[in-house]
Chain A
Amino acid sequence: MVKSRARLIAGTAAALSAALVMTGCGSKSSDGDTAAGSSGSSCVDTSGDTVKLGFLNSMSGAMSISEKTVSDSLNLAAEQINDAGGILGKKIEPIQEDGASEPTVFAEKAEKLIQSDCVAAVFGGWTSSSRVAMRPVFKSLNNILFYPVQYEGLEADHNIFYTGATTNQQIIPALDFLRTEKKIKSIFLAGSDYVFPRTANKIIKQYCEEYGIKVVGEEYQPLDQGAWGTAVDKIVSTKPDVVFNTINGDSNVAFLQAYDDKGLNSSNAPIVSVSIAEEEAAAIPVDLTGQMTSWNYYQTVESPENAAFVKAFKAKFGEKRVTSDPMEAAYTSMFLYKAMVEKAGSFDTEKVIGAADGITYAAPEGKVTVNGENHHIAKTNLIGQVQPDKLIKTIFSSDGPIEPDPFLKTYSWWDPSKE
């Protein structure tokens, strides 16, 4: 027994030292190129008559209800582009991956799409967590991500194009509308507890301080939870002129039910929501008529481009389906990519990024233009009002497309370092 134990310890020691030697070798040889950081050349192959593009959406988990709709509109865009001859004459070959509503999975699948499938670009992501998880992957492997959802701004990555709104195209126009049109004096903030609502509310608080609007309450609940009773009680007691709602996902159902239970509605306690679109409104079993939203697209937008988009979407996926802002932004992102590639005359990442500035597209939401410096797009803000049939109608619109300003440099009242 003693002998065998000694042998085992010796064996363990040997295994350990062998391993250390091995890892030692690994790290040593890397010293030289640690600074470079980038890993090898791209394996994108466009010598045939197709180009592979990655679609990375949550097909399972809590976010799948929302993200599957983005996948659908991406597929519609790919189909339409292919029917019209493809990109640079090459047909799109979409490769769908499941982000499983988990940021670590998003990072892993992004790497898989780029390294194993050799896609030329990836479209997808929804939550901010998923985007920041993927960000270093696209940077280190030098590929492109098209991110289709409105978000908290304060970011402009070389390898990402943001086709949803940044805060100065969604949050600030909504505040301008409330201040100048609705003449509000007080506001109540309700949000999910994560980076988008926290950042949005930080911006809102500084805006309100500048313009003398009183913030009477600020409440958060975890993303997947709905204990909104206490917060709604506070809304009842503080009687704000408007509630600014940055709650995301299913939690909205609980919030608006609690709202309804206390007898609150659009006439006695109006809400402006920035995460409730057509899809979500339809899923909330409460009368939302008259409540407001701030987006850049609604299914009801009147333009020939939108009529064609809605018609094609319903023809492909069913008459009962609705179209929403993130779906439209994803759809638009693929046409913007097509235009960038064709301007660059190449699928090469750097050439495509280099060609991005000034690319325009007559999107269903209206004309959009890519800003080559911050990789966002100029888009028009639309304040909407929920109709009895749960569709949303524009009641106010910005004066044409708003230039993206993710870091709010043009707003003197904004101080990012202030707590």
Chain B
Amino acid sequence: MNARVMAFKAYFPLIGIAILALFLLVIAPGALSSFRLNNLGKYCCYAIAGVGIGLAWGRGGMLVLGQGLFFGLGAYAMGMHLKLEAAGPDAVPDFMMNFGSGVLPAWWAPFRSGAFTIAAIVVIPALVALVLGLAVFKRRIKGAYFAILSQALTVAFGALLVSQIKYTGGQTGLNSLSTFFGYNLYDPVNKKMIYMITAVILIVMLLITFQLYRSRFGEVLIATRDQEERVRFLGYDPANIKVVAFVIAAIMASIGGAMFVPMAGLINPREVSALASIMLIAGVALGGRATLLGPAIGALVVGYGRTSLSEAYPDQWTYFLGAMFIIVILFIPNGLTSVIPKAWQALNRRRTDIKEVEAV
């Protein structure tokens, strides 16, 4: 293969992103009804979290089984702001009246500010991931231990949300939201706007990740995944590299969670559960964890699959979804997107074969 083809191949993912952007930003808004577009927006939220999982797990080798924690942090930060918007400028949320003292807790108050909320959506999960990452990776904890720890934290966070009904709305969560930064949530025009913002965030996250994968950081991250000891021998601290990837993944999950709230119209602890975290991972695995577009496409496919299968077979859809996972993992272990480069290779091989035949 010559240098030009190699250089061209490096931009393959960019072509993929362009096709995805065309679909999400031009074709889908034109072709889909408001309701279907809103559903696609929710899948995009899972995809945003999925891109982060691809980075941490696919490229970094950290099995992040608890991204629901960060998805939930972002979602609750956004939910708190929207709940305060729905309550009105001087009022407190309904559940605080019913189950609490009727006084807004001090740590809720800053979320009245939209700017604070947006900052919190990025900063809070980043800090949590930083502390957790340093504590874990500096001690060289990895593999199953890290996976168990991250999942346990998610479960604990969910339990905390359920038990603190005075502050979090408990099992029912933050609901009856009405506006998104002043825009009515149930107006189709605004719904489209929220979808557009989400789709653009997904594309931007993919572009950032594309750049990360091409950078020296991306190279060292893969090296850390494959041969951590050698990376350390070369003078890098693998812990720092992993922490950076983990923090980025956490921020992406948080942003996905934050955008999920205005589209779902509510957030509750079920979206933060171990099951929700596993669904995120499953989407990434289905799409192809080590590729750039795989995690995003996998999340979109799983989201669409869940919706359409459950509509077609309300009684048996969970079996079909399970069968889909089993089939993909058995026959395409590297995910759906791994089929494309394979097909390209096969095509190239045939072309060269033909050329050779012609030469003969």
Q: CB within 8 Å of B: which residues of A?
A: 5, 8, 11-12, 15-16, 19-20, 22-23, 26-27, 29-30, 33-40, 59-60, 96-98, 100, 102-105, 107-109, 111-112, 115-116, 128-129, 132-133, 135-137, 139-141, 154, 193-195, 198-199, 202, 220, 222-223, 416-417, 419
A220 to B178, CA, bound (A): 31
Q: Is A419 touching B264 in the complex (CB atoms < 8 A)?
A: no
Q: Which residues of A contact B188 (CB under 8 A)?
A: 39-40
Asked if A39 meets B187 with Cβ closer than 8 Å, knowing A8-B211, A22-B196, A154-B98, the reply is: yes
Closest to A225 in B: B159
Asked if A416 meets B173 with Cβ closer than 8 Å, knowing A112-B35, A133-B265, the reply is: no
Q: Is A104 touching B184 in the complex (CB atoms < 8 A)?
A: no
Q: Is B173 touching A129 in the complex (CB atoms < 8 A)?
A: yes
Asked if A19 meets B25 with Cβ closer than 8 Å, knowing A419-B101, A419-B102, the reply is: yes
A8 to B206, CA, bound (A): 12
Q: Which residues of A contact B315 (CB under 8 A)?
A: 59, 98
Q: Is A417 touching B171 in the complex (CB atoms < 8 A)?
A: no
A60 to B275, CA, bound (A): 14
Pairs across A and B, CB under 8 Å, 6 listed: A8-B210, A15-B204, A19-B197, A136-B175, A136-B177, A198-B170
Q: CB within 8 Å of A: which residues of B?
A: 21, 25, 33-36, 38-39, 42, 95, 97-102, 159, 162-163, 165, 170-173, 175-178, 182-190, 192-193, 196-197, 200, 203-204, 207, 210-211, 264-266, 268, 270-271, 307, 310-311, 314-315, 317-318
A139 to B21, CA, bound (A): 33
Q: Which residues of B contact A116 (CB under 8 A)?
A: 33, 35-36
Q: Is B159 touching A103 in the complex (CB atoms < 8 A)?
A: no
Q: Which residues of A contact B270 (CB under 8 A)?
A: 102-104
Asked if A27 meets B183 with Cβ closer than 8 Å, knowing A12-B204, A15-B204, the reply is: yes
Asked if A136 meets B178 with Cβ closer than 8 Å, knowing A104-B264, A222-B163, A416-B97, the reply is: yes
Closest to A1 in B: B214
A345 to B35, CA, bound (A): 30
Asked if A416 meets B176 with Cβ closer than 8 Å, knowing A15-B203, A22-B25, the reply is: no
Say what secondary structure dominates the interface of chain A: helix
Q: Is B177 touching A111 in the complex (CB atoms < 8 A)?
A: no
Q: Beyond A11-B207, A112-B311, list 5 extra A-B contacts (CB 8 Å).
A: A29-B189, A103-B268, A115-B34, A132-B175, A195-B165
Asked if A104 meets B172 with Cβ closer than 8 Å, knowing A23-B200, A26-B196, the reply is: no
Q: Is B189 touching A195 in the complex (CB atoms < 8 A)?
A: no
Closest to B181 in A: A27
Q: How far is the CB of A73 from chain B (nearest CB, A)?
A: 16
A244 to B274, CA, bound (A): 32
A98 to B175, CA, bound (A): 20
Q: Is A195 touching B204 in the complex (CB atoms < 8 A)?
A: no
Sorted from nearest, which 5 A-B pairs have the closest CB atoms?
A140-B186, A26-B193, A194-B171, A30-B189, A19-B200
Q: How far is the CB of A277 from chain B (nearest CB, A)?
A: 21
Q: Which residues of B contact A111 (CB under 8 A)?
A: 35, 38
A37 to B182, CA, bound (A): 12
Q: Is B200 touching A39 in the complex (CB atoms < 8 A)?
A: no
A132 to B83, CA, bound (A): 14
Q: How far is the CB of A98 from chain B (nearest CB, A)?
A: 4
Q: Which residues of B contact A40 (CB under 8 A)?
A: 188
Q: Is B172 touching A132 in the complex (CB atoms < 8 A)?
A: yes
Asked if A15 meets B207 with Cβ closer than 8 Å, knowing A27-B183, A103-B270, A112-B35, the reply is: yes
Q: Is A37 touching B187 in the complex (CB atoms < 8 A)?
A: yes
